[in-house]
Amino acid sequence: MQTRAKILNRLSERLEEFVDEYKHDLDADEVAIIEDAIGVVEKVKDSQVDDEEDEDGGVED
């Protein structure tokens, strides 16, 4: 469902906005943790998109 990918995309965007807005108030470790979380969200989103493409008529073996 595209909705999940959109939600994950928005979550990633919001985390990036948070880091940009509060970077000066955060320790380097805190920024790194949030950036790691963004990476995880992006991987899940990419996996979700791949799964959706398979469900929508991807090539079957």
Give the tens place of pLDDT for each residue, 6-26: 999 999 999 999 999 999 999
Q: Is residue 27 part of a domain?
A: yes
Confidence at residue 33, expressed as pLDDT on a 0 to 100 scale: 96
DSSP 61: -
Instruction: Look at 4 and 58; give whichever has higher pLDDT.
Output: 4
Position 32 pLDDT exceeds 90: yes
Can you tell me the distance from the alpha carbon of 32 to that of 61, in angstroms, rounded to the nearest whole number?
40
Give the total number of structural domains in the chain. 1
Whether residue 16 lies inside any domain: the answer is yes
According to the model, what pLDDT value does residue 61 have?
44
| Helical segments of the chain, H only | 2-22, 28-55
Residue 59 lies in a domain: no
For residues 44 and 6, the answer to whether their CB atoms sit within 8 Å is no
Q: What domain range includes position 34?
A: 2-50
